Amino acid sequence: MLLIPAIDLRHGQCVRLEQGDFERDTHYSTDPLEVARRFEARGATWLHLVDLDGARDGEPRHIDVLEQIASRTRLKVEFGGGLRSSAAIEQALGAGAARVVLGTAALEDADLLARMISVHAAVVDVGIDARNGYAAVKGWVETSGKRAVDAAADVVRAGARRIIYTDIATDGMLAGPNVDGLRTMIAAVSVPVVASGGIASESQLELVAAAGAEAAIVGKALYTGALSLSTLQRWS
């Protein structure tokens, strides 16, 4: 299993939210490029870059940061947040994203998802963010009426080739991942699933790997030292 470090962007800075709450954010750095380079130096090959402002506003706000990191490191960047139009998706890919992550757009705009999969199937992932078992949208501000596993099954039938699954209750809490929810998601779809949310130790990484995740996204644990940066090399 691959370990992918995360950078969440708000007002140009690296932050982490607790359970997706914009009122409970912790600032870690004013220099996302320096943080990305630190991850790269410790063995990371991929970076999960999330535009929190874009997710809430409905259009990307940090394409410039994506472009800096993609051009000034060797990291392969998967970028999400506010990608709700074909123009925004093409802009992110043009700025150097190796993969784009569609969340709200994938669940609410079937035509856009179909168009993007027809053109960019290999580089379009779908983020399924679950709150109490139901898919959340619009920067986690709203919860849809569809179960997360059903939403995932729908986008896979539409052609999605990878699911990034986040359990919102555990995200940013360092209390451990929802392994049962992860297993349920993996069983519901026929494509690779990337796990995100709550991982705070190497033993928890091993649980996520044993559940069958293709990769695990970790943010806060790397910033706080709960997981050593050297862990990136062991799981690269």
- Answer yes or no: 8 catalytic: yes
| CA–CA dist 110, 113 (Å, integer) | 5
Q: What is the pLDDT of residues 129-181, one digit of tens each?
A: 998 889 988 755 667 778 999 999 999 999 999 999 998 877 665 668 999 99
Catalytic residue, from 8, 51, 154, 167: name it.
Answer: 8
* CB environment 81-113: b (16+ within 10 A), e (fewer): bbbbbbebbebbbebbbebbbbbbbbbebeebb
Taking alpha carbons only, the member of 12, 143, 8, 18 closest to residue 80 is 8
Q: What domains are defined for the chain?
A: 2-234 (3.20.20.70)
Catalytic residue, from 51, 129, 167, 171: name it.
Answer: 129
Give the pTM. Answer: 0.93
Query: What number of other Cβ atoms are within 10 A of residue 168's Cβ?
Result: 25
- Answer yes or no: 21 catalytic: no
Q: What is the pLDDT of residues 91-135, one digit of tens each?
A: 999 999 999 999 989 999 999 999 999 999 999 999 999 988 899
The amino acid at 203: S
